[in-house]
Structure 1
Amino acid sequence: MKKAMLIGKSGSGKTTLIQFLSSEEIRYNKTQAMEYYPDFIDTPGEYIESRRYYSAIISSVDQCQKIGLVQDATDRGSVFPPNFAKTFNQEVFGVISKIDKENADLENAEKSLKRAGVNKIFKISSISQEGLKYLKKYLKIK
């Protein structure tokens, strides 16, 4: 069973976050389909951006212990419907990515995740690695 599935808009930082947490080389590639890592499932942004793909997410969550909703701190909008976290039986946590960007709005990102039903939120930067150790500890990754 995978530790977590990450769900978020295209470009929110899901793949980069997984690469960091998995101690892999950081390389950008557009996620086209579900990608399976030893501890994670990476979902394409389109799966949350278009309701017709929700079933692909829902049918795969039983392979995971936790679900992570990733919200880019520079994105003023949110793709997560209200109480989206209640869709899942697994524990759902939030990740606010890109917190070190000049136009980051942490308050807005946190509101988006809370509206989606998330209580546990991690604020992370893949550049400075701020917050990553807390997320690793939460996910029990060595």
Structure 2
Amino acid sequence: MENAKKHIMLVGKSQAGKTTLTQYLTNQQLFYHKTQTVQVVDGHYVDTPGEYLEQRGFYGALSVTASQVDVIALVQSAVEESTMFAPGFGSMFCGKFVIGIVTKIDLATEEQLKRATRYLTDAGAQTCYSVSSVTGQGMTEFNKWFENL
């Protein structure tokens, strides 16, 4: 029987690093492009537009999309001073496993990393991973977790 790899939905502000993360994880060339609609990448990663988080009117689209995945990943850039995730945000996904992914760690100070992780845990992330899609830092740990889901 084939090992059925899980599906993970990436939710975060515009320019948080969701698309770049999916490019890294699927061995694509890294290049910036604005995600306009929900995109399924490599059959397992669901990349959502930042506007789905930034505009409450799109929360319904997040909920509908979440029903089709196994894990919700809240994505927060380490160098972003603020967050769009309200405390308890992850609870809107009705019992789905919620993780946090801090991106752009190669550009951040230790204090910025701590702040981003706190934002994600406050939002309901049950565990957090810190990664850089440019240097690959933290990707081995994240991939190991994802492969063992």
Taking structure 2 as the reference length, the TM-score comes to 0.89
Runs of 4+ in 1 over 6 A off after TM superposition: none
Q: Please give the residue correspondences for 1:33-52 in structure 2 after superposition, counting only pairs within 5 Å.
A: 33-37=37-41, 38-52=43-57
- Displacement after TM superposition at 1:56 (Å): 0.5
Match of 1:114 in 2: 121
- Look up the SS of the partner of 2:137 in the other structure: coil
Match of 1:60 in 2: 65
- Displacement after TM superposition at 1:2 (Å): 5.3
Partner AA of 2:55 in structure 1: S
Q: Does the Cα contact within 8 Å between 2:97 and 2:126 map onto a contact in 1?
A: no
Q: Does the Cα contact within 8 Å between 1:3 and 1:139 map onto a contact in 2?
A: no
Q: Does the Cα contact within 8 Å between 2:78 and 2:108 map onto a contact in 1?
A: no
State the Cα deviation string for residues 68-114 of structure 1 (Å, max 9, x = none): 00000011111011101111121110000011115571111011111
Which consecutive unaligned segments of at least 5 residues does structure 1 have? none
Please give the alpha-carbon distance, in whole angstroms, between the structure 2 residues aligned to 1:73 and 1:102.
6
Which consecutive unaligned segments of at least 5 residues does structure 2 have? none
Q: Please give the residue correspondences for 1:1-142 in structure 2 after superposition, counting only pairs within 5 Å.
A: 3-37=7-41, 38-88=43-93, 89-102=95-108, 105-140=112-147
C-alpha RMSD of the superposition: 1.6
Number of aligned pairs? Answer: 141
Judge which range, 130-139 or 103-112, deviates more: 103-112
Partner AA of 1:133 in structure 2: T
- Look up the SS of the partner of 1:64 in the other structure: coil
Please give the alpha-carbon distance, in whole angstroms, between the structure 2 residues aligned to 1:2 and 1:102.
30
Percent identity of equivalent pairs: 36
- Displacement after TM superposition at 1:119 (Å): 2.4
Taking structure 1 as the reference length, the TM-score comes to 0.93
Q: Does the Cα contact within 8 Å between 1:2 and 1:41 map onto a contact in 2?
A: no
State the Cα deviation string for residues 34-76 of structure 1 (Å, max 9, x = none): 1111111100000001111100000111111101000000111
